[in-house]
Amino acid sequence: MKNDPEIVNILREEERVGKLQNRTSTPTNGAGLSNTFVEQNEYVPANTNEPSRYEPKRTIIDLVSPQEKYETIFDNYTVAITLADNEERIVSWNKYTEELLHMQESDLFMKPVRSLYPPEEWKKIRKENIRQKGIRYRLETKMLRKNVEPFDVDLSICILKGFKGEIVGSVAIITDITELKKVEKELKESEKKYRTIFDNSAVAITMTDQHEKIISWNKYAETLLGMNKDDLYLKPVRDLYPASEWKKIRSQNIRQKGMQHHLETKIQKKNNEQIDVDISLSVLKNHEDRVVGSIGVMKDISDRKRTEKNLEESEKKFKLLYEKAPVPYHTLSPEGLITDVNEKWCQAFGYTKTEVCGKSIFDFISNHEKTSAKKSFAQKISEGKLYAGGHERQYLTKTGEKKLFVSHDFFLFDENEKVISVYTTMEDITENKQAEQALKEKISELERYKTITVNREMKMMELKNEINDLNTKLHQKPKY
């Protein structure tokens, strides 16, 4: 075969000319080579009549191929190569085999091939009927290193035959694919995670082909649009948008830019209802840099838009009440600088509006709370919520008096969802806290008085009992 590895072609050629055949005519056991295939064939050096001492690896290499080219390829090949006799015992191997298996000559020579594989993997290899087929390419399996550590390999096995077509052994080419399997596993896990995110994302995701027709979408897209597979598959994506909105999207030249984030527009549901969405579009290109499609992520912002509209209307009303409100108000920049205060705020703090505008709100907070106040404020800005909830904070007036307020922060955002202003209402609870503290002290004082009174009564009872006991001893009538 033209796709055979070079080593297999060489071995086949060696087999064809008979160089892999046993040199003696020792009777065999019927399976090809004799049981003493190695032991009975000593290596005889050239130009001498005296046999050398038994040299297992040298003898085997010489039997397999005496050619210098073969020896060089065999020993220096960057994959592991093993040769087995007809009884499936390892009789030869290259250098890389020892490195791959963490074994030496004493570990490998005449070792049963099956011992290199976990039992279940050897059973899988047996089912391939390689002896009948003659060769098996690219069989993924596992092998065992000397420390019995399993690892993934790509295995190719070729049967070797003698002059008469009998099986005399086999050659195995082993490629370590541990890293490849690891990458494949990571890729599958990544793909699984992507599919999970894609299908269960709380935003609608659609993919289109190069003709701008929808070819894929997630579950939420069907929910958002009120459509099913029949409605969406190969639907022109432009049909999801009102004509004026599609024109606006087209004006962004997204195919040229490649990407567009957070474009607010409207889409049209199956029942023709229009809803506000935030879309992000990305162009998909192939290796030739040709546009092959696009992916769109749509987030329903109808609730947010309604909230913004309501907030705008509320702000108009708020402006009318701001100055004359019965509670202190202040307005802050995203950096915490005061941009406005109302009359009640000025009365509570003792400053004029001119004196405080442009200063940091943290200049008016008690020193022991400044650090926590700054951290809390920064967190609220980053969260992007419209309302942060009430919180207690101690402030300082112009005279240095400490006052306790419950503050409520409201955040205003621009079209890019960045905070542009913070509106804070303040409730002075200083007197309430002082009253609570006074009440606690009074209760504590009453508790102490109660304890003293109870103790006094107990002492009186003890004295009365003692008097009664004395009267009894004096044969008098108890007085109490």
* pLDDT score for 228: 94
Q: Is 313 exposed, middle or buried (0-12, 13-18, 19+ CB in 10 A)?
A: exposed
Q: How far is CA 369 from CA 359, 374, 401, 436, in A?
A: 17, 9, 15, 22
Specify the CATH number for 6-182; select among 3.40.50.2020, 3.40.640.10, 3.40.50.2300, 3.30.450.20: 3.30.450.20
Q: Among 3.30.450.20, 3.30.365.10, 3.40.50.1820, 3.40.50.880, what is the CATH number of 305-428?
A: 3.30.450.20
Alpha helices by DSSP H, 134-273: 178-200, 219-225, 229-232, 243-250, 254-257
Its pTM surpasses 0.95: no
In the prediction, which pLDDT does 9 show? 61
Q: Where are the alpha helices (DSSP H) in 252-340?
A: 254-257, 302-322
Q: Which two tokens stand for residue 201?
A: 């994302």
**Per-residue pLDDT of the chain in tens (480 residues, 90 and over written 9):** 445 555 556 555 555 554 444 333 333 333 333 333 333 333 344 444 444 444 444 444 444 444 565 666 667 778 899 999 999 999 999 999 999 999 999 999 999 999 999 999 999 999 999 989 999 999 999 999 998 899 999 999 999 988 888 889 999 999 999 999 999 888 888 888 878 878 888 899 999 999 999 999 999 999 999 999 999 999 999 999 999 999 999 999 888 888 988 999 999 999 999 999 999 999 999 888 889 999 999 999 999 999 988 888 887 777 777 888 889 999 999 999 999 999 999 999 999 999 999 999 999 999 999 999 999 999 999 998 899 888 899 999 999 999 999 999 999 999 888 999 999 999 999 888 877 777 777 777 777 777 777 777 777 787 778 778 777 777 777 777
Where do you find CATH 3.30.450.20 in the chain?
6-182, 201-300, 305-428
What is the pLDDT, as a whole number, of residue 456? 74
- Nearest CA to 205 out of 172, 422, 197 is that of 197
- Radius of gyration of the CA atoms of the chain, in A: 45
Give the C-alpha separation, 41 to 3, whole Å: 34
Strands (E), 301-434: 329-332, 338-341, 387-396, 402-413, 419-428
Domain 201-300 is in which class?
alpha beta
Q: Kind and range of the H or E element at 260?
A: strand 259-268
Instruction: Quote the pLDDT of residue 26.
Output: 35
pLDDT score of 73 = 65
